[in-house]
Amino acid sequence: MKESNFQLVGKPQITKIKLDVNKDYIFEKEVTLEIDNNILVQKSADEQEKESIVVLKVGVFTSKELSVVPFKLDIEIQGCFAWDDVLDKDTVRLEAMLRQNAPAVLFSYLRPIVTLMTVEANMPPLVLPLMNFIE
């Protein structure tokens, strides 16, 4: 196995967390998990610099009324990603790495945070499923 030419630099940072809890929700009711996301890529103004900040915004149950779901969650995480000269010349592949691979890496950091937040809010733990950022 060899190291990827696309790397997360340092640790990702949570930039927003908002959890609204429905205290009257009855957990025996079955609710379909609803997750939405938005990906923002902030490329450096210096074209010689081979790194970008990628922001992943995730919402859980955000399009529903709070009265019909256990909670609403908005959370954002960002990370700095860097790449080598070879990837820098392949703009199509680089764009795919920034819009697919980077969010997948960031999402892996969010999943345990969401689980912990739901447990600490005295709810059953929510383990977010793995997501496909290609589709």
Q: Is the pLDDT of residue 135 over 80?
A: no
Q: In this structure, what are the phi and psi dihedrals at residue 67, rounded to the nearest 5 degrees?
A: -70, -15
What pLDDT, on a 0 to 100 scale, did the predictor assign at position 72? 96
CA 123 to chain CA mean position, Å: 21
Read off the tokens for 64.
Answer: 């529903």
Indicate the average pLDDT of the chain.
94
Domain ranges of the chain: 6-120
What pLDDT does residue 8 have?
Answer: 97
Residue with tokens 């955000």: 62
**Residues 64-67: contacts with CB within 8 Å, 24+ apart?**
64/34, 66/20, 66/22, 67/22, 67/24
For residue range 97-129, list pLDDT tens digits in order: 999 999 999 999 999 999 999 999 999 999 999
Is a pLDDT exceeding 90 seen at residue 30? Answer: no
Is 29's pLDDT higher than 80?
no
Quote the pLDDT of residue 90. 92
Fold of 6-120: Bacterial Protein-export protein SecB (3.10.420)
Identify the pLDDT of residue 106.
98
pLDDT digits (tens, 9 = 90+) for 1-17: 989 999 999 999 999 99
Q: Please name the residue that has the structure tokens 């990370």.
A: 79
Look at residue 21 and tell me whether its pLDDT is greater than 80: yes
What does the pLDDT read at residue 27? 85
- Cβ-based neighbour number of residue 2 at 10 Å: 4
Question: Which of 27, 90, 80 has its CA nearest to residue 55?
Answer: 80
Q: What is the pTM of this model?
A: 0.92
CA-nearest of 10, 7, 6, 56 to 36 is 56
| Residue 28: predicted pLDDT | 81
**What amino acid occupies position 45?**
A
